[in-house]
Amino acid sequence: MAAEADSPRAPFGRRACEVADSRESGGYRIFTLIDAEGPAPAAGQFYMLAAAPDWAGEGGRPYLPRAISYARVTENPKGGVRLDFLIDEVGPGTSRLARMKQGDECFVAGPFGNRFSLPRQLNEGAAGAILVGGGIGIAPMAVLRRELVNRGIPSRSLLGFRDQAHSGGVDELFGCEETRLAFEDGSYGHKGFVTDLLLQLLEGDDSGSAAIYSCGPPAMLEAVRRICADRGLPVELALESPMACGYGACFGCAVPKAEGGYMRLCVDGPVVRGDQIATAMAGEPAVG
Ligand SMILES: Cc1cc2nc3c(=O)[nH]c(=O)nc-3n(C[C@H](O)[C@H](O)[C@H](O)COP(=O)(O)OP(=O)(O)OC[C@H]3O[C@@H](n4cnc5c(N)ncnc54)[C@H](O)[C@@H]3O)c2cc1C
Ligand code: FES
């Protein structure tokens, strides 16, 4: 799996972290937690979050914490780190997280999972990286982009959204340089899928110099995986699957491997190489 040995390990158990900020962004919500005790996470990792008040509320849901990728990490002046998360309200857990206010407490476990490889680890001949993000999946791409900038590695970002109401985080998390946008409704940028932009870019590029990374909805990830497989291009995909524990105990997150058998996405992923899986369509969400 992708460079798992480098990934910081989560402290045992969950800890209460203070919400430092919460703001609207293009139909999504960005909130900031102060994690005074946790280690700095690595690009691709995620946390299991549960709002301290009102969790397991009406009808018992949300009961389990929710897996959320971090979108930015900065040093906290008083110790530990400040973590930004980008949230799309699709159900009771994400809605509750989005309703948290400054000063509230959030239970945090993590960071979990593995990290993205660097371009030369993924492809020896890589001159830089192409990042393909869709919807809420732009969060891990923003983290990876920042790491590549810090290391002086060139990258181009291709970001796709359904419409303006589901397009948060672009201005705050990505610079406009080397970033191209696609909107399915044609309201801005390219009208169509972000994979159209990837195909355009690959036509103009020496394919051998590309290291490709992607995170987004399963159908988009599967399209990226196929585009890369057809051209023999190395790609890392940050996948999603239903997660109940985050540390490998429940097997709720198991996805089939290309060679047969299963991997647990919370420990063997969420970052996987395209050739490790038969499909990026991970399966039905669990309810909990
Ligand atoms: C590694 C990882 C990173 C993630 N990062 C983020 C992130 O950064 N930001 C973010 O917003 N989300 C992220 N997610 C997704 C988020 O954890 C899930 O969408 C989570 O289930 C949301 O919880 P919920 O209670 O809001 O919605 P849920 O009730 O769990 O529903 C989630 C979605 O599944 C659908 N659904 C629920 N039950 C069923 C069912 N039985 N059959 C079919 N569809 C169903 C709902 O309609 C909804 O669209 C991540 C997930 C993983 C695994
Ligand atoms: S979420 Fe429990 S094993 Fe992966």
To 5 degrees, how large is the angle CA 240–CA 245–CA 248? Answer: 80
User: What atom in ligand 2 is closest to the CA of residue 265?
Assistant: 4
**Which one-letter amino acid corresponds to residue 276?**
Q
Q: Across-strand partners of 81?
A: 35, 75
Interval between CA 97 and ligand 2 midpoint (Å):
21
Q: Can you list the domains of the chain with their CATH numbers? A: 4-112 (2.40.30.10), 119-235 (3.40.50.80)
pLDDT at residue 2, rounded to an integer = 57
pLDDT at residue 56, rounded to an integer = 75
Residue nearest ligand 1's atom 9 by CA: 87
Between CA 138 and CA 133 the distance in angstroms is 5
* Entry pTM: 0.94
pLDDT at residue 284, rounded to an integer = 53
Strands 190-191, 179-183: pairing kind: parallel
Q: Are 70 and 47 in contact (CB under 8 A)?
A: yes
Q: Are 246 and 65 in contact (CB under 8 A)?
A: yes
pLDDT at residue 241, rounded to an integer = 93
Of the candidates 250, 1, 251, the residue with the CA atom closest to the CA atom of residue 122: 1
Interval between CA 91 and ligand 1 midpoint (Å):
7
The length of the chain is 288
Per-residue pLDDT tens digits of the chain, which is 288 residues long: 555 457 888 888 899 999 999 999 999 999 999 999 999 999 999 999 999 877 876 677 788 899 999 999 999 999 999 999 999 999 999 999 999 999 999 999 999 999 999 999 999 989 999 999 999 999 999 999 999 999 999 999 999 999 998 999 898 998 767 899 999 999 999 999 999 999 999 987 666 788 999 999 999 999 999 999 999 999 999 999 999 999 999 999 999 999 999 999 999 999 999 999 999 986 555 556
Strands 155-161, 179-183: pairing kind: parallel
